[in-house]
Structure 1
Amino acid sequence: MKKETLLYDMLWYIQNKKEFTAQELADQFHVSVRSVYRYISDLADLGLYVESKKGRNGGFTVLPNQILPPVLFTEAELFSLYFAIQSLTDYEDFPFKVNTITAKEKLLEVVPKEVKQKLRQLSDHFKLSIPKQAVSAPFLNELITASLDHKRLNLCYQSVKQVSQKVVDPIGIYASNGFWYLFALDQERQEPRHFRIDRIKQLSVTEEVFDTSFKLDDIEADYEPQEAVKLVAYLTEAGVKQCLENRYLHKGVQQYQNGRSELSLLIDKSDIAFTAEFFLLLGKEAKVTAPKELVELLKEKIRELGKIYL
């Protein structure tokens, strides 16, 4: 085994063990105890420091505030990292104030020259495209920190119809279609809800710690509305494609052998206003027949548009 590879393996092993003896390290890597002391000195030159303990049960303890061990990436993994970073440039706001331009340049500086050249060439032929961030999203750092610390939040939230005060337990944040969202347990409703972060007008983090079984992965779970109403809409071929791309509606798309397609599923009554905005965007590609409240809301919005254009 090459010395560089041996040192790298030792670095990982020691960082994970935290405490070890020279004999233990010698047995693990099939080297002499004398060689172990020499390798420990080499690791100190790389920034990893250990403290020796005297006595019968002596050995070594890794000192705190150590460097992270270097990580070896394959060329394919480097390409994936580079273009993942590039895809984030469409978001003006990002947790932890990540500078994606600087991050890409740092990655290019540490890769071999031939890999750097391939990355720059590939950028002319490959792009990960996502919707650009539509509006500014404040409080991203505060929200992700509160989620990690399990701290309850007080929100002043501007929904489509009104401004309201919310007490929520933050589960996590995510980006979708150019918007940032907070996934949190609404204390009043006692159910997880999605909040557009750009609509949060004020935020205060309390000292109250919560415990929850919900995780961010639960946003992919089947939605169970509290006050269910049935949504039914006839769809054109283009309407089917649009609904299949919608993370909340795609499961309700039904396509029949006679060529007819429809959308049929249960939604929460409180989501009617949000759903109306989606069907306005679909235009003539969908015709909603139920619930009655959604049909009336769509008619009202069409009349309002008519006052502007007709």
Structure 2
Amino acid sequence: MKVNKAQRLIQLIMLVNERRKFTIQELADECGVSRRTMIRDLTELSELGVPLYSQPGAHGGYRVLREKVLPPISFTEPEAMALFFACQSLQNYKSLPFDDEVNTALQKFMHYMTADRKAAIQRMQESLVFWIPPHDLDLPCLRDLLEAALEQQTVHIVYEAKERSERDILPLGVYTVNGLWYCRAYCGVAKYMRVFRVDRVKTCLPAADNNLTYNIASEEANIRHWVMQMEDRDLVELVVELTPEGVRRCQSEIWLSQSIEVHEDGSGVIDTHISESYLNWAAHFFLGFGLEAHVRQPVALRGQIGRLLQELSNQYRS
């Protein structure tokens, strides 16, 4: 059956996206058209923005550059609005692995929306907010770490925590919690899996040796599965007594708000569980509450707060 030109071009976009390399004659034979027609079709694809690259010579041909173009996709207006607000939910992040792409996608959706739908989106933007805690942190290596995880490539990083260090890591993936980005990776120095704060990764380059490997179970390698199960590992009981002011402050914290039992006088108590790996962070967090919070459990957290208080006292001792 003979297809019209528009159908043929859509078919052609899908064909060239599937292949790393192809010749004009191969595509002409597959689409059932002449070589001359195929040359015209490829020229039109190029004019439409499909990034084609020609390689001359006996073994040459065409290939599509990395940024492949999808064929036209039809959306209903409610579907388009849903995708628009899915992108909008990311707007409070200072950095994303695909900042520019989110903005251009939103611009394309808005360009093709009818006037009444644009007005509806404007009204919804005023009534619906996806809020995350703002962090003014630079993430120069976020996209590089994600691409290294996708390509299973070892990278060499400069990492600044308490001290500046350099190491080779094999990233498994990135995730975000409360506006902060993290990278889970196998560390060539520590020889075990570690979680790195992405804002502390200052440089990220392909490693000189790409042979860093780590044998892990498939469910452990799946970063989404690992994050979803994070709350079930290495947990200790967290019990904190709060004054009314302490309750108000903790209610604004996403990770604590559902774990507070509020008493009639406005005071309350936190009774939940926390991963041992977060105890150092929790010590600094609750220390900032002063007399508004009294940590009862775990003992290890009480000890860390006590040591921080001693260090603080020494710092300001005359």
For 2:301 and 2:163, locate their aligned partners in 1 and report how far apart those are by CA, in whole Å. Answer: 18
Deviation at 1:170, TM superposition (A): 0.4
**With structure 2 as the length reference, what TM-score do the two structures score?**
0.63
3-state SS of 2:129 partner: coil
Is the contact between residue 239 and residue 286 of structure 1 (CA under 8 Å) also seen in structure 2?
A: no
Aligned to 1:169: 170
Which whole-Å CA distance do the structure 2 matches of 1:283 and 1:266 have between them? Answer: 20
Q: Does 1:221 align with 2:223?
A: no
Tell me the residue number matched to 2:287: 280
Task: Choose the corresponding residue for 2:96, options 82, 90, 94.
Answer: 94
Q: Extract unaligned runs of 5+ from structure 1.
A: 26-32, 49-62
> Once structures 1 and 2 are overlaid, which stretch shifts more, 73-82 or 88-97?
88-97
The one-letter code sitting in structure 1 at the alignment partner of 2:168 is: V
CA distance in 1, matches of 2:13, 2:153: 35
Corresponding residue number in structure 2 for 1:51: none
Map 1:25-174 to 2 at 5 A.
Answer: 44=41, 47=45, 65=64, 67-98=69-100, 100-159=102-161, 161-174=162-175
Give the share of equivalent positions with the same residue, in percent: 23
Once the two structures are TM-superposed, the CA of residue 71 in structure 1 deviates from its matched residue by 1.0
SS in 1 for 2:126: coil
Contact 2:159 2:201 in 1 (8 A): yes
Matched, 1:234 2:240: yes
Q: Distance in 1 between matches of 2:292 and 2:84?
A: 38
Please name the residue that 1:294 is paired with: 301
Aligned position for 1:245:
254
- CA separation in 1, counterparts of 2:252 and 2:92? 24
Deviations 1:242-290 (A, max 9, x none): 59832xx899x5979xx9855354743x643222123235555643234
Distance in structure 2 (CA, Å) of the matches to 1:285 and 1:12: 65
* 8 Å CA contact retained: 1:14, 1:20: no
C-alpha contact 1:87 1:130 (8 A) present in aligned 2: no
The 1:260/1:131 distance shift into structure 2, 3 A limit, reads closer
Distance 1:255 1:170, change over 3 A: same
Structure 1 residue 198, shift from structure 2 partner: 1.4
SS for the counterpart of 2:137 is coil
Residue in 2 that maps onto 1:30: none
CA change 1:101–1:244 in 2 (3 A) is closer
- Contact 2:240–2:297 (Cα < 8 Å) also in 1: no
Secondary structure, aligned partner of 1:88: coil
Change (3 A) 1:69 1:254: same
Partner SS for 1:275? helix
Q: Determine the structure 1 residue equivalent to 2:57.
A: none
- Structure 1 position 15 matched with structure 2 position 14: yes
Counterpart amino acid of residue 301 in structure 1: L
Contact 2:94-2:136 within 8 A present in 1 as well: no
SS in 1 for 2:210: strand
Q: Structure 1 pair 74/193, CA: closer, same or farther in 2 (3 Å)?
A: farther
Q: 1:46 to 1:202 in 2, by over 3 A?
A: closer
The superposition leaves residues 4-29 of structure 1 with CA deviations (integer Å, 9 ceiling, x where unpaired) of 9x96699469937989999xx9xxxx
Q: Among residues 260, 271, 287, which one is paired with 1:263 in the alignment?
A: 271
Q: Which residue in 2 is equivalent to 1:198?
A: 199
Considering only aligned residues, what root-mean-square deviation do their CA atoms show, in Å? 4.7
Letter of the 2:205 counterpart: S
Instruction: Name the aligned partner's letter for residue 108 of structure 1.
Output: M
CA distance in 1, matches of 2:133, 2:285: 17
The gaps in structure 2 that reach 5 residues or longer are: 19-25, 47-61
